[in-house]
Amino acid sequence: MSNNLIHNVSSSKFWDERYISNNTGWDIGNVTPVFKDWCDSLAEPSKIFVPGCGNGYDPLYFADQGHDVLAVDISEYPINQIKKEAKKQNITIKALKCDIFDLNKNLFNQFDYVVEYTCFCAISPKKRDNYIDMMNKLLKAKGEFIALLFPLNKKTDDEGPPFHVNLRKTLNQFSSKFDLIKSFKHPLSIIPRQDNEIYVHLRKK
């Protein structure tokens, strides 16, 4: 894995260029069925944080269902798209262009849920412990981390993004700050990723 690549994925320019060139293979073009099902099961309005939100289909859906949502991405292009779509649909949502590692401390201990999909695998693997620490700080006491971890089947030494996710190692990394509630291959995973991702539900210690 080249140091140049690691540097690139940590820069907004790298991701801006992906959006400009429409090189967005992670984008499924609609709300994620797994997260729609999860959101529909919530009993009351909640505060939800979505890191690396991309074009924001999931956070827009959460906000449309009455939740207080903050969607964050390092690139301005998807953030502008979310704001445009929110205005078009009359949805109240907060969308912020920011590196998730530079978030304001005022956001700490503010969220009931973090919803993760294709952000964890997009950052440098060297920053995964920092990511876990940041998500922990954002959540309220006993707040919950809801994720689809992807890709499980990619070779470890292949360059990314996306970078390989080793499930056992990843859950061990999270275990210092989170308790595992459940993890399983979700029946609502999109067909191309059914054998390459896993649903994980964690709770802040």
pLDDT at 1: 40
| pLDDT band of 155, cuts 50, 70, 90 | confident
Whole-number Å distance between alpha carbons of 160 and 105? 30
Q: How far apart are CA 41 and CA 20, in angstroms?
A: 36
User: What is residue 156's predicted lDDT score, i.e. its pLDDT?
Assistant: 77
Our measurement of the distance from residue 115's CA atom to the centroid of its chain's CA atoms, rounded to an integer in Å, reads 6
Cβ partners under 8 Å of residue 96, min gap 6: 70, 71, 72, 73, 79
**Contact criterion met (CB below 8 Å) for 137 and 67:** no
Task: Give the distance from CA 56 to its chain's centroid.
Answer: 10
Tokens linked to 84: 């445009």
pLDDT at position 7: 54
Q: What is the pLDDT of residues 29-88, one digit of tens each?
A: 999 999 999 999 999 999 999 999 999 999 999 999 999 999 999 999 999 999 999 999
d(CA 178, CA 203): 5
pTM value > 0.85: yes
The DSSP H or E segment spanning 147 is strand 139-149
